[in-house]
Structure 1
Amino acid sequence: MSFMETRPIPQVRPLESVPVEDGSEQLVVLRDPYRFQPNAFTLSLPTYLLLTLFNGERTADEVRKAFKARYYAEVSVEEIDRFAAELDELGFLFTERFEEMRRQSLAEFQESPCRKPAHAGKAYECEPANLRKQIDGFYDAMRNKIVEQDTVTALSPASATGEVQALIVPHIDPRVGGCTSAFAFSALRTNSEPPDLFVIFGTAHQPGHSLFALTGKDFETPFGMAETDRAIIQTLRDAYPFDLEGEEYLHKHEHSIEFPLIFLQHLYPNHPFKILPILTGSFYEFLESAGLPDDDEAFAAFPRALRKALETSGQRVCFVAGADMSHIGAKFGDEEPITEELLAQARADDLAMLKLMESGNPEGFFRFLQESGDKQKVCGLPPIYTMMRSMQPGCTGRLLDYDLNLETPTQSFVTFASMGFYGQ
């Protein structure tokens, strides 16, 4: 498609942009947050700056003039036209091409009888035997960490009081957070009987409008099919007065439920448990207000409805929150360089926040982030807070492991932790 006519170049869609360095060259990696376009696209910094001028109002010649006025650099109308056509082919512009890609992707998900594994062969092994070996390796790394750091973990029965009722586990790439995840799932081994149902809360990383997104599709992984509990889902639908499945598509590429699930299947290869997969949306508006999520009936009604649905099931239930902690650095919009002092401060802030979780204080946890303006950018806030409001009262938390992943090329880091909640 040519955009060299007098009509404006279509607007660029909202995209994830990650700055990286390749030697002395500054680059920007673009990704479609909805994964309608599954592939990333890398641009030079000047080309990215050109893209920012595609606001849906400028013609190619007006983009050329604006680029020259703002950045004192020349680019031809023909070059702009070719670049716009390339973006259109990728589905990065608001055009019919994008609408076609969106319709096709939505239809594929709706017609699929199950939720297919989105990250097998990428973030983790796709062959069952290799995946089992990979996860076994995470447990080996956990044991080595215990020996090296004299860490008190759930492997020590004396550390647990009661049965594990809930877990916080990382949803970062298992190749990074697998060892920390192993600490949490080892804690689950101390239960007298395995749970029948896992209610798995995950962060919805793709932008949405609803607080919660539910799917009744079974989840396929290299270990086989994890069946959703459709009876519980129907009871939950009946009890919750707001939409739960209008944004079901968000489950298609989301990793925050898929990653914990493969650990559960590895842990219970011969126990046919069921799952209730729930994605939680942004708490941005709650953080910006002076109130709590519970002040909004769209949130408050959900834990009530979930508890009601679970009480009538008569099953052994365990909650799992796939959640990471702080996100700091250039990749996440921060300008401050990564220093030892910054890393130490992030750790101190995280541990103070985790103490509030351990004490079973969801309001204190939320207020801690609200009062700081969520400077830590904790993407795990929605699933953890929702889980803590949904599980039985009186549970005591125990921090099992804490770690971080530093990305030197992007001058950014993410922290993550495992925690068990124990009760009767």
Structure 2
Amino acid sequence: MSTANLAEHLQRPALRRIHPVQLQKDNQVFLGLQDPCMLCTQMMVVPPQAFQVMQFFNGERSIDEIAEGLKLADIAPLLELVQKLDEFGLLWGPTCEALEDKKKAELAANGAFAAGATKSLGEDPAVIRAQLEKWLDEAEDAEIDESIVGIVSCHLDYGRGHPVYASSYRTIAKGPKPDRVVLLGTNHFGLGDGVVVSDVGFESPLGRMPVDAKVIEHLRAATGRKLFIDILDHVPEHSIQLHILWIQHLYGNIPVIAALVPDPVVGLMSDDGARVGVDEFVAVLGKALDAQGGRTLFVASADMSHVGPAFGEPAAIGDQRRREVEHHDRAMMKEFIASPDRLIEGMRAQKNPTRWCSVGAMTAAVRLAKPSSIELIDYRQAVDEQGNALVSSASMVLLA
């Protein structure tokens, strides 16, 4: 079978970001190719051998070069794999672009992201509210008398993270209702290297939290499409959705501005002006909020250290490693409390040795909220029984 009639983008196939999921059928192992953006309603499934072949699909090798390197006697199965991947939108090119355009159009027509991580407590509003209220009651009262302009909390699953969520949200539970919430998260699975803002709202079992349309108008006027071009990065993003229920429980369906903020230590991959960096985002959002007026609550959805074999470290986590991580975390939190710039400088100097994932969200929240001081409420480490993974997080308040 010849490659001459293949579409140009299939001549040198380039695989989009996917997440393999192990499946089993009739005592055989397969891999489901999970697309974070969910461009297709169905998931493509391949045998492990095909997944190994896909590692060569980096856009640099031609089909013939891949076949030669793998010493394939018959090129037909390779061509079939490439064409099927393209059909599912898993290769870069016009097919995935068309599927992206369709997904964006559906999203715009609906006006909100469908409930995803917000369904992790089920779909019964009464049950959800009862659970959130129970966790709030269990959290220690930090006895903050000053006005609070923002909080830092985690984006762990509720099973591991509920004490940190609750200690953060308890500090504002009896405070005045804000006019809007600026919710800053981390882009775990998406492709955008700049700030990614959602111009639609978020559905959950507690209702629909709308976007603050007037603030979005200001942002669009200032940046054009740049903040919104990678909006599909929000589809799989839990760091935003896991906070939606807490905000709805306390304040109802108030307007939200949700943004995924990159690591300012890393910066943009290109300076071609196609995306918005953290500095520009803080400047334009600050102006938009000033123009709109009212009271804004800032929420930084932030996990900190990620250590252990699950994150590439050789040894299981023991007590000594936990102490080392806590020492580092507390040193970095001290820098953060002193100044967001000092946290960035510290992470840059040390090359972020424990893989904090939310420096962008934390520092942007402080630069926007301009608090008089920051107070640490709680610090925790979530570790699995096997010592395979440790994720640390903290509850903090930004005082007016």
Please report how far the alpha carbon of residue 200 of structure 1 lies from its aligned counterpart in structure 2 after TM superposition. 1.1
Unmatched segments (≥5 aa) in structure 2: 5-9, 270-274
Structure 1 residues 98 and 10: CA distance shift in structure 2, 3 A = farther
In 2, Cα distance between the equivalents of 1:14 and 1:118?
Answer: 22
Q: Structure 1 CA distance, aligned partners of 2:386 and 2:235?
A: 30
1:122-201 matches, within 5 Å, as 123-139=120-136, 143=138, 153=140, 155-157=141-143, 160-191=144-175, 193-201=176-184
Given the alignment of the two structures, is residue 317 of structure 1 paired with residue 296 of structure 2, yes or no? yes
Contact 2:278 2:360 survives alignment (8 Å): no
Aligned residue in 2 for 1:15: 17
Flag the 1:391–1:90 CA change in 2: closer, same or farther, 3 A: same
- How many residues of Structure 1 are paired with residues of Structure 2 in the alignment? 385
In the superposition, relative to structure 1, how do residues 387 and 29 fare at CA in structure 2: closer, same or farther (>3 Å)? farther
Deviation at 1:20, TM superposition (A): 8.1
Using a 3 Å threshold, how does the CA distance of structure 1 residues 343 and 49 change in structure 2: closer, same or farther? farther
Q: Partner amino acid for 1:201? A: L
Return the alpha-carbon distance in structure 2 between the equivalents of residues 362 and 223 of structure 1.
34
Structure 1: runs of 5+ lacking an equivalent: 69-73, 147-152, 289-295
Q: 2:385 and 2:29 mapped to 1: Cα distance?
A: 15
Summarize the Cα distance change of 1:241–1:102 in structure 2 as closer, same or farther, 3 Å threshold.
Answer: closer
Match 2:233 to one of 228, 241, 250: 250
Three-state SS of the structure 1 residue aligned to 2:239 is coil
Aligned-pair identity (%): 22
Counterpart of 1:5 in structure 2: which amino acid?
S
Q: Which moved more, 1:75-84 or 1:253-262?
A: 75-84
Residues 1:84 and 1:199: Cα distance change in structure 2 (over 3 Å): same
Moved more, 75-84 or 100-109: 75-84
Structure 2: which amino acid aligns with 1:11?
Answer: P
Whether the 8 Å CA contact 1:12–1:55 is kept in 2: the answer is yes
Residues 76-155 of structure 1 aligned to structure 2 (within 5 Å): 77=75, 79-81=77-79, 83-84=81-82, 86-94=84-92, 97-121=95-119, 123-139=120-136, 143=138, 153=140, 155=141
1:275 aligns with 256
TM-aligned CA distance change 1:18 to 1:363, over 3 Å: farther
TM-score, with length taken from structure 2: 0.80
Residue range with higher mean Cα deviation, 45-54 or 102-111? 45-54
User: Could you say what secondary structure the match of 1:300 adopts?
Assistant: helix
**Among 198, 204, 219, the residue aligned to 2:202:** 219
Deviation at 1:207, TM superposition (A): 3.7
The answer to whether the 8 Å contact 2:185/2:260 transfers is: yes
- Gap change, CA 1:65 and 1:412, over 3 Å in 2: farther
- Aligned residue number for residue 149 of structure 1: none
Distance in 2 (alpha carbons) for counterparts of 1:209 and 1:95: 17
Task: Please point out which of 59, 67, 74 is paired with 2:63.
Answer: 59
Q: Cα distance, 1:241 vs. partner?
A: 8.2
Cα distance in 1, alignment partners of residues 261 and 301 from structure 2: 10
Output the CA distance in 2 between the equivalents of 1:28 and 1:257. 28
Q: How far is 1:115 from its partner?
A: 2.9
- Provide the C-alpha distance between the structure 1 equivalents of 2:2 and 2:394, rounded to a whole number of angstroms: 54
Q: Which residue type is aligned with residue 149 of structure 2?
A: Q
- Cα distance per residue 1:353-381 (max 9 Å; x no partner): 22223x24101111221112122222211
Q: Is the 8 A contact 1:236 1:305 kept in 2?
A: yes
For normalisation by structure 1, the TM-score amounts to: 0.76
Matched, 1:266 2:249: yes
